[in-house]
Amino acid sequence: MTTIEKIQKQISENPIILYMKGSPKLPSCGFSAQAVQVLSQCGVPFAYVDILQNPDIRAELPNYANWPTFPQLWVEGELIGGCDIMIEMFQSGELQTLIKETANKYQTA
């Protein structure tokens, strides 16, 4: 499986996925920490990939996403953006709505 195939599989199998430095419990950069904080406040579990542990993904994802920086939030296969966009969306209430609607769609009965 190529790195791009791995990324596509992760994005397709996880309706809400954050590519970040470190983990939600131990983020390794301030931007990843802020991204986790706003996502966590949405009250919905999300998947994550630690790009520091996956240098192949760290190298390939910016090209695939056409987005140069991390963290990257993907919802339903679509790149939402990085830390600044997530914070703006959170402050407007847009992020909470998007995350909760997505989580409700994928909840198993």
pTM of the model: 0.95
- Report pLDDT digits (tens) over 85-96: 999 999 999 999
Domain total of the chain: 1
Residues flagged as binding site for [2Fe-2S] cluster: 29
Residue 53's pLDDT is 98
Cβ proximity of 83 and 54 under 8 Å? no
Query: What is the domain range of residue 37?
Result: 3-106
Where does the pLDDT of residue 56 fall: very low under 50, low under 70, confident under 90, or very high at 90 and above?
Answer: very high
Residues flagged as binding site for glutathione: 21, 58, 70, 83-84
Query: Measuring CA to CA, which residue among 1, 53, 8 is closest to residue 26?
Result: 53
Instruction: Pull the structure tokens for residue 81.
Output: 């953006």
How far apart CA 65 and CA 23 sit, in angstroms, is: 21
Residues flagged as binding site: 21, 29, 58, 70, 83-84
CATH number of the domain enclosing 66: 3.40.30.10
Listed in sequence order, the residues at least 6 apart from 40 whose beta carbon sits closer than 8 Å to its beta carbon are 24
Mean pLDDT of 15-35: 98
Where does the pLDDT of residue 109 fall: very low under 50, low under 70, confident under 90, or very high at 90 and above?
Answer: very low
